[in-house]
Chains A and B, each alone.
Chain A
Amino acid sequence: MSAAPPRGAADGREIPADDPRVQLDEALGVFEPVPPYPPRTEREAEFYTLGDGEMFINMGPQHPSTHGVLRIVLKIDGENVVDLDPVLGYLHRGVEKLCENADYHHSIAYLDPLEYISSLFCEWPGVMAFEKLLDVTPPPRAEYLRVLSSELNRILSHSMFIGWMALDLGGLTPILYGLIERDEIAEMLAALTGQRLLFNYFRIGGVNGDLNHEFLSRLGDWMSRATTQIEANTMLLNENEIFVRRMRGLGTMDQATALRMCMTGPNIRATGIPLDFRRAHPYSVFPELDFDIPTRDEGDCLARYLVRIDEIKQSLRIIDQCLHQMPDGPIMAKLPRLLRPRPGRAYAAVEGPRGQYAAYVISDGTDQPFRMRIHDPSFIHLQSVGTLMPGHLIADAMAVMASLDPIMGGVDK
């Protein structure tokens, strides 16, 4: 090993003998995660120094259960995770910058693929922020349509979560039951919006399409059996001794830590804090709707899983009320041909299936946003793996990861 120069030596820099790469190469050979040189922080230098009996393992970016292209460098001692270093950016597309180079209508389409499993919630804060800049109020029918379609999207996202959760614990079947529900809802939303995955449905001042016969017949067909179907799908896990024993008490997060980590959505509601932006900062027509905020006190993986199942039931209630209360009327507000908001700033946030989706827009008076900042819950939740994973086994680390439900498209933006 001494004959081969350590990697990185080719660029001509002198590499000291205490460079962690040299030590790694000598100790372990090739195929090790290469630490940045020189270490950018003390934390990095500390992380890439191996203790006794420890080794690094590269989990991702190509790994069956990292939910996309996340790479986690795990420092493990046997099966125990000692420490970890998430490496982000494998799916970075520069969405914020793309939005700044498109006009206000066009940038909605760029927001869609942020989280490809909950597209409507990625559009919504952007559209709401643009509306605030332009002083436009969408008509009530459009608001009801937004709530209706986005609650369907929430159920879609949560039913996929149940499947992924089981898949990461080794259960093969629930993912396919989840996919059935997802497919029904995707077809339904395709009838409403014209797309199955990236809906691009919301417009500044309204929505793209009104209710139609196909959507309503599919929705009615599905609603008549949705409650029993969701319960049947989750029964395979909820009453499974292996599943419950693995999930209970795993990755427990207390309220103080959850608040310190800026967690939102089901992950913070699983710790007992009833934070829901639909109630905390009411927007759209949510003040007119009657629904509960399900919470759990345990804060573990099982609580995060059960809170999501309860949320599906609440979403069904909201959809039912939307269908009954929806007024007649236009679905688009009157807008000028060319959108040129006055210079200013606007912030909007919505409650999505993973937490708070928000957008902060600065306008300089032209027809393009001067600055667009997207706040995504997956990124916020992913930072808590550093406190949740160490001390657990590799198998549990994956379960913790799945219970936080991050989508890498949203993390890397």
Chain B
Amino acid sequence: MARSWSRLTLAGKILFTVIPILFVLTVGLVLLIVIAGKPIVDFLAANIWLVRFVVAATAILLMSVPTAFLIIYMEMKVIALMNLRIGPDRVGPFGSLLSVVHGLKVLMKEDFSPTGADRLVFTLAPVAVFMATIMALLVIPFAPGLFGADMNIGLLYLFAVSGLTVVGLLMAGWSSFNKYSLLGGLRSAAQVISYEIPLTLSVVGLLLLAGTMSLNQIVLLQGPHLVNGVATGGWFTDWFVFRQPLGALIFFIAATAEANRTPFDLTEADSEIVAGFATEYSGMRFGFFFFAEYVNVFVVSGLIVTLFFGGWNAPFPWPWPVSVGFDPGSLGIGLLLLIAIVPVVGTLILAAPFFLARSSLPAWQAIVIGFVLFNLLAIVAIAGWAFISFDWVAGLLWFLGKSYVFVFTFVWMRGTLPRVRIDQLMGFAWKWLLPASLLNLFVTALAIVVVHPK
């Protein structure tokens, strides 16, 4: 035991220490609520925002890692197919677990910093980048009622937080004691700061139209609205992309640069400056950068969808949520009977054809097949019921679907385009995007004054 403990890397030690502590804390909290009871429940009920915030923060932290895994896998597979390669195909179905295995590998690797590095800054830099990215997820509305916090300055908060990334990249570049890292850090600072300006200006026109900075309100404005108590509209023509096409285009380009994606991936240009700010990083510290990059891709895609493509609204008038007129609670004791009987009967019914069709099949195998089929059917039925009964399920699916279209676009661009040069990058931001976004703002403001004079 002692020997294997000493063999663990720092990250492994931390992991194996933190998990039991978290487990004990959780069990203790549940016990405390059960034993101490009412006062705590009352306190939590009075401060429901606190509960909501803690739950949302935890959920976002937990969600961000699978999201990164999924996008990493998607990038590997999609670029492989574009390159006429096979891509990952060993671990899991179609190689889909390869990124998980990569994550575990990164966790087990040695954790070192180069001679001459500024240890403290070197260690803090990946954390800073990762935190800035995760914090941005807090305000994105995934579905009706499914968001971390509904701030009235949501968009401003988002820009402020995503600008923090550059601090982490600069820290990494400076503290690594490597000139390639330094160049990468400086490039990222120049790039992110330059593109922040068109990025922010491109949505000011949208803000003039929307009149709010709350991302929830912006999404609601693009959905069906009540006229005399009746929900009308809800077609995709209400999306802001049709009222702000230039703004959407500028936002998309600037967001690509902000997320350091091809063709603007100068900060980690491997053919020029090896790996940029991440040159000296390895193990989980590199993993943080890597995760942050892909979570950032998701954030940027989600933001584009939220602002310009209707967020969780469907592109056509969505007839649901529909009440199916069935309340399981009304069955009373019959519900228990239902839960007890339906699986058995269903399993037997589904098993019967297999048993009858092939006499060589033993009865228990037929029953296993029937059971699996019944469970699949039940999952589909429950999912379908949830899809039409709860608007957040449908909303979440619409949001994720639209977001992953943009994630795919980023991956597609990476597989297709070469990289721009640093002076072309800066020239494009200052000579084209900035005037274009100012023009967009001017035209929008003019239109508002002409159409709705107050």
- Write the residues of chain A forming the contact surface with B, with a CB cutoff of 8 angstroms: 29-31, 55, 57, 63-65, 79, 166-173, 176-177, 180, 236-237, 240, 242-243, 245-246, 393-396, 398
Contact = CB atoms under 8 A, between A and B. Distances in A.
Given A173-B82, A246-B424, A394-B183, A167 B271 contact: yes
Contacts of A245: 424
| Residue among B84, B116, B418, B421 with most chain A CB within 10 A | B418
B420 A242 contact: yes
Interface stretch (B17-25, B312-320, B370-378, B409-417): B409-417
Report the 10 A-B pairs with minimum CB-CB distance, sorted nearest first: A170-B419, A65-B271, A171-B418, A169-B418, A176-B83, A170-B418, A168-B271, A395-B272, A57-B179, A64-B270
B265 interface: yes
B422 A393 contact: yes
A146 B171 CA distance: 58
B85 interface: yes
B273 interface: yes
A246 B415 contact: no
Contacts of A29: 116
B423 A393 contact: yes
10 contacts: A55-B179, A64-B270, A167-B271, A168-B271, A170-B269, A173-B82, A177-B84, A394-B183, A394-B272, A395-B272
Contact of A170 (B177, B187, B262): B262
A192 to B, nearest CB: 25
B430 to A, nearest CB: 17
A279 to B, nearest CB: 34
B288 interface: no
A170 to B, nearest CB: 3
Given A57-B179, A170-B263, A246 B420 contact: yes
B415 A398 contact: no
B338 to A, nearest CB: 55
Contacts of B274: 63-64
A55 B180 CA distance: 12
Contact of A246 (B84, B273, B414, B421): B421
Given A63-B274, A170-B271, A394-B272, A243 B418 contact: yes
Given A170-B262, A170-B269, A172-B79, A57 B180 contact: yes
| Residue among B79, B85, B419 with most chain A CB within 10 A | B419
Nearest to B177: A31
A394 B180 CA distance: 11
Interface string B416-454: 111111111000000000000000000000000000000
Contacts of A65: 270-272
B421 A393 contact: yes
A4 to B, nearest CB: 13
Contacts of A396: 421
A169 B79 contact: no
Contact of A173 (B83, B115, B271, B272): B83
A172 B262 CA distance: 10
A64 B276 CA distance: 12
Given A30-B116, A393-B423, A394-B272, A172 B179 contact: no
Nearest to A63: B274
Contacts of A393: 421-423
A79 B414 CA distance: 24
A396 B418 CA distance: 13
A124 to B, nearest CB: 32
A170 B116 contact: no
Nearest to B179: A57
A345 B275 CA distance: 51
Nearest to B115: A30
Interface string B285-318: 0000000000000000000000000000000000
A74 B200 CA distance: 38
A55 B417 CA distance: 31
Contacts of A63: 274
B116 A173 contact: no
Interface string B95-125: 0000000000000000000011000000000
Contacts of B416: 171, 173, 236
Contacts of A64: 270-271, 274
A175 to B, nearest CB: 8
A396 B424 CA distance: 12
Given A173-B82, A395-B272, A242 B116 contact: no
Given A30-B116, A79-B183, A173-B415, A395 B421 contact: yes
A197 to B, nearest CB: 21
B393 to A, nearest CB: 37
B180 A170 contact: no
B116 A176 contact: no
A396 B177 CA distance: 24
B320 to A, nearest CB: 42
Nearest to B80: A176
B421 A398 contact: no
Contacts of B266: 395
Contacts of A180: 84
A166 B418 CA distance: 7
A240 B418 CA distance: 9
A319 B449 CA distance: 70
A83 to B, nearest CB: 16
A398 B417 contact: no
